[in-house]
Amino acid sequence: MLAGINFFPTVSPAEKSAVQFFDESLELSILADRLGYHSVKIVEHYFYPYGGYSPDPVTFLAAVATRTERVRLVTGANVPAFNHPIKLAGQLAMLDNLSHGRLDVGFARAFLPGEFEAFEVSMDTSRARHQEGIAAILRLWQEEDVVWNGTFHKFGPVTMLPRVHQQPTPPVFIAATSTPESFVWAGSQGFNLMFIPFTSTNEKVAGLLELYRNARLAAGYPAGSERIQMGIHCFVDTDGDRARRKAAEYYADYVEKMIDTWEAYMTAKPTEYAGYADMITGLRKKSLAMLEENSQVYVGTPEQVRQQVAATLDVFGDIEPSMQVNFAAMPIEESRRTMELFAAEVLPAFPG
């Protein structure tokens, strides 16, 4: 099994300065490279302690690129709806070259109303912008003299520089959470997949993965050629009770920040976002203990986490856990220990 680490900053300036957050994340990325982790991922979000420290995943990954040798650098994910395809294609191509071809690109539709409002983009167009942006970027990477006549962008003929290093393109992942259409579309295009089980149930998510894999097969892509990354919180300690207690605290804070972000929009536009109330109630109810019961978190001693990993592989098939090891304002020592114990005592149990 391959495993990676996943930065989804959930800190406010009052808790941890951005200098400290990025110093620590860089240190953990270098550690990931050294300990044999497969990938380092970071998100694109704005404005709120929920992800907002990382409005541009490429900027952080470029900083990681020149301090690491082999770990793959994953945008998890870029949002085409908020970025011009020419700019994003060029920026990602620079990173692919700076890292000597270690870039994996994730694309997401985005889902926070406030982000769409700030960029003056209607959420109703999010799927169309997502698909058009990805298609435009893929053409800019693969072709010269590209003429693009899309719904949202028109340009060309232009030849993008620099050319990407990985041929024909860096691997592309689609971030999908709950919409069956998204899973089918990602599969039918032959893309790789990023998913997050903890906001749903594993049964539902396993069904969505089946849709994805079947769509991929139906489109002629060989079985097993897909790469699937699963976002999951991970906290390992030789003292399992302490791991549960501390992780539960940080996880509660993480969820509270997630909910704050939604509530900000519900307060501003109560009728428009009334449907989000159920989701918030659902999130509030789901403690870390419940995640553990449902195999939706890795927490405890290395032995316990080995069993949890086996359970997720059992239900989801061949996937790469992309692990949040520094959620909320956790001290770096906790993240470092999690990564060291997981690398030494969990990963070796899943060879190949």
Minimum CB separation of residue 17 from a second copy in Å reads 8
Residues with Cβ within 8 Å of 345's Cβ and at least 6 positions away in sequence, in order, are 302, 303, 306
β-partners of residue 7 are: 42
Among 7, 37, 46, 141, binds a second copy (CB under 8 A): 46
Whichever of 79 and 347 has its CB closer to a second copy, that residue is 79
Minimum CB separation of residue 258 from a second copy in Å reads 15
Tell which residue, 135, 125, 132, 136, has the closest CA to residue 158. Answer: 136
Tell me which stretch binds a second copy (CB under 8 A): 57-65, 186-194, 230-238, 331-339: 57-65
Contact 185, 166 (CB under 8 A): no
Minimum CB separation of residue 214 from a second copy in Å reads 37
Distance of CA 174 to the CA centre of its chain: 9
Contact flag: residue 221 with a second copy (CB under 8 A): no
Contact flag: residue 90 with a second copy (CB under 8 A): yes
What residues numbered 113-132 form the site for a second copy, per CB under 8 A?
A: 114, 117-120
What residues numbered 146-175 form the site for a second copy, per CB under 8 A?
A: 153-156, 158-163, 165
Contact 88, 164 (CB under 8 A): no
# chain residues binding a second copy, by CB under 8 A: 55
- Amino acid found at 31: L
Distance of CA 148 to the CA centre of its chain: 28
Minimum CB separation of residue 341 from a second copy in Å reads 26
Contact flag: residue 22 with a second copy (CB under 8 A): yes
Contact 315, 202 (CB under 8 A): yes
- Amino acid found at 177: T
Q: Which regions of 79-158 does DSSP assign to beta strands (E)?
A: 103-107, 146-149, 154-158
Contact flag: residue 335 with a second copy (CB under 8 A): no
Whichever of 6 and 295 has its CB closer to a second copy, that residue is 6
Angle between helical axes of 18-35 and 57-65 (0-180°, round to 10): 50
Contact 79, 109 (CB under 8 A): yes
In whole angstroms, how far apart are CA 325 and each of 10, 69, 297, 328, 329? 12, 21, 11, 10, 11
Among 60, 250, 251, 316, binds a second copy (CB under 8 A): 60
Q: Using CB under 8 A as the criterion, what x/- string covers residues 190-219 for binding a second copy?
A: ------------------------------
Residues with Cβ within 8 Å of 25's Cβ and at least 6 positions away in sequence, in order, are 7, 9, 42, 60, 326
Among 3, 32, 43, 58, binds a second copy (CB under 8 A): 58
Contact flag: residue 137 with a second copy (CB under 8 A): no
Among 10, 39, 78, 91, binds a second copy (CB under 8 A): 91
Tell me which stretch binds a second copy (CB under 8 A): 14-22, 181-189, 237-245, 276-284: 14-22
Report the distance separating Cα 186 and Cα 131, nearest Å. 10
Minimum CB separation of residue 48 from a second copy in Å reads 7
Among 3, 40, 64, 194, binds a second copy (CB under 8 A): 64
Give me the residues that bind a second copy (CB under 8 A), please. 13, 17-19, 21-22, 26, 46-49, 52-56, 58-60, 62-67, 82-84, 86-87, 90-91, 93-95, 97-98, 100-101, 114, 117-120, 153-156, 158-163, 165
